[in-house]
Amino acid sequence: MVLAEAAQSRPGKPALIFHDRVLSYQELWDLVRGAQGLLQQKGLSQGERVGLLYNNGIASVAAFFGAWAAGLSVVPLNPGLKAAELGELLRHCGARAILTDVEGVEFAHCQRVILTEKEEEGSQSGSAVAEPDYLKPDHEAMVLYTSGTTGRPKGVVHAHSGLLANARGAAASLSLSEKDVTALFLPLHFSYGLSQMLTTFLAQGTVVLLDGFFHPAFLVKALRERSATGFGGVPSHHRLLIERYRGKPLDLPSLRYVMNAGGAITKEELTELSALFPKAEIVNAYGCTEIGPRATCLPFKHFARKAGSIGLPIPCVSLRVLDEKGEEVPPGVQGEIVLGGPSLMKGYLDEKGLTVVPPGPGGFRTGDLAVRDEEGFLYHQGRKDDLFKSGGEKINARLIEEVLLGHEGVIEVLVVGVPDARLGMVPKAVVVGRQGAPLSPEALIAYAHERLPLSHVPRRVELVQSIQKTATGKIQKFRYQSEP
């Protein structure tokens, strides 16, 4: 196990920082062994699934690795979900127990195990704990439910070997080492957040774990005080940073990289991000829960000449761009991203949660559209879901979004197709405006008229205070598609 190796080779090295607590790798491993012992005492058998219901904290990290050390498959759950939603996910995956540090959490047919930092410290540790004999590469490590950006979450099943392969590839793409200090504010039930933790521990660096919410000033304070070398966020996080500090470059001498993933970001926003963090390399990446989750990364040295690209596949990921017939498209032609390789999921849980349905023999069809240039660099062009026909003409919602984001009064925008009696579907834009900026639907429609074909001009613009997102900051477009 990654933590066991680090505890042996660098026992005194800081592994995890949370608030004012600093745990060395040996101290963290002792907590993990304590959690393992408690779970074994509870009679949980190797191979069974257990839900993890935690906000970010020391207990959440120890629960993850303690469950793995006990031979269990973990099912990370979002504490922000309602009880009925949590119960449905637990029933679907057949979880034997739910591990949590919150009293009063009860679900039918599911044992509750209170697993706090205090409980872990008081449990068995060291030689008293049964040695694990389960870590076979193909054994199930986790069921991770997708964020639900396009509808009902899906249960993605990963093996230990796949998670480790992806962590190795991601660590290599970022050149992570024991000197790295990762500021992690994303929740650990989100594949992107979990990946940042695993890659940093694999490199035997230090994780500065922040509360599972985002505030620009809070992040910058942590980056400065903890001499962080890197962090990653989704586009909405970066937009908040740009809005808060625009024109005020931040002096963070230790920061060497800032990563974007979990959604598309414009070239202009990447440039603004670079101006905000002048001493850091800006990394644009792409991935999905099904691949473990990192798939591509734009190498640092190519940022200036390949601005806007999502880069090249990381080690361990095979990537093709295919047309609807399943044939590879040439450079410059749009196609669908299809992923494969050792970090690809074992499959989805079926509707009843009883069996794992593997991806097709050709790989996992992501639904994401992209083009390659002559050198093989990828440029994301939205999702197949973003394409719809209006009066027989194909509309690309991503194109409309990029144009509207160019308006100085716009902070955030999404475009969806909505029903129309005459044309079938027409584009609607939902826009968050900059505070104090004069903005009206009519002005935005006029702005679009000057820059887009008539078919792509939104027929309706709705101004809102905020756009509905998942707990991890990803936009939930499906919530807007049924509106008239």
CA angle 211, 71, 353 (to 5 degrees): 80
Are 234 and 471 in contact by the 8 Å Cβ rule? The answer is: no
Name the token pair of 437.
């900026």
pTM: 0.84
Are 32 and 60 in contact by the 8 Å Cβ rule? The answer is: no
Q: What is the DSSP letter of 404?
A: H
Amino acid at 349: L
What 3-state DSSP class applies to 342? Answer: coil
The residues, any chain, with a CB within 8 Å of residue 144's CB and separated by 6 or more, are: 75, 76, 155, 156, 158, 189, 191, 194, 289
- Dist. CA 270–CA 281, nearest whole Å: 11
What 3-state DSSP class applies to 480? Answer: helix
Note the helical H segments in 42-185.
58-69, 83-93, 117-121, 160-173
- Dist. CA 185–CA 221, nearest whole Å: 13
The closest of 468, 407, 462, 460 to 438, measured between CA atoms, is 407
- Dist. CA 239–CA 252, nearest whole Å: 19
Q: What is the DSSP letter of 26?
A: H
The DSSP line for 195-235 is HHHHHHHHTT-EEEE--SS--HHHHHHHHHHTT--EEEE-H
Name the token pair of 351.
């509707």
Q: What is the DSSP letter of 328?
A: B
- Dist. CA 412–CA 191, nearest whole Å: 24
Distance of CA 99 to the CA centre of its chain: 22
- Parallel, antiparallel, or unpaired: how do β-strands 378-383 and 257-260 relate? unpaired
pLDDT at position 482: 61
Q: What is the DSSP letter of 358?
A: P
Q: Which helix (H) or strand (E) holds 289?
A: none
- Dist. CA 428–CA 450, nearest whole Å: 17
pLDDT at position 199: 97
- Dist. CA 65–CA 72, nearest whole Å: 10
pLDDT at position 427: 92
Phi-psi region of 47 (alpha: psi -120 to 50; beta: other; left: phi over 0): left
The closest of 295, 303, 210 to 256, measured between CA atoms, is 303
- Dist. CA 461–CA 414, nearest whole Å: 10
Peptide bond into 293 cis (omega under 30): yes
Cβ burial 228-246 (10 Å sphere, 16+ → b, else e): bbbbbbbbbbbbbbbeebe
Q: What is the pLDDT along the chain (484 residues), one digit of tens a residue?
A: 789 999 999 999 999 999 999 999 999 999 999 999 999 999 898 899 999 999 999 999 999 999 999 999 999 999 988 888 899 999 999 999 999 988 777 887 788 888 887 766 555 444 445 555 556 678 999 999 986 555 578 999 999 999 999 999 999 999 999 999 999 999 999 999 999 999 999 999 999 999 978 899 999 999 999 999 999 999 889 999 999 999 899 999 999 999 999 888 888 889 999 999 999 999 999 999 999 999 999 988 898 899 889 999 999 999 999 998 999 999 999 999 999 999 999 999 998 888 899 998 889 999 999 999 999 999 998 888 788 888 778 788 888 998 999 898 999 999 998 888 888 889 999 999 988 788 999 999 999 999 998 889 999 999 999 888 776 666 777 777 665 4
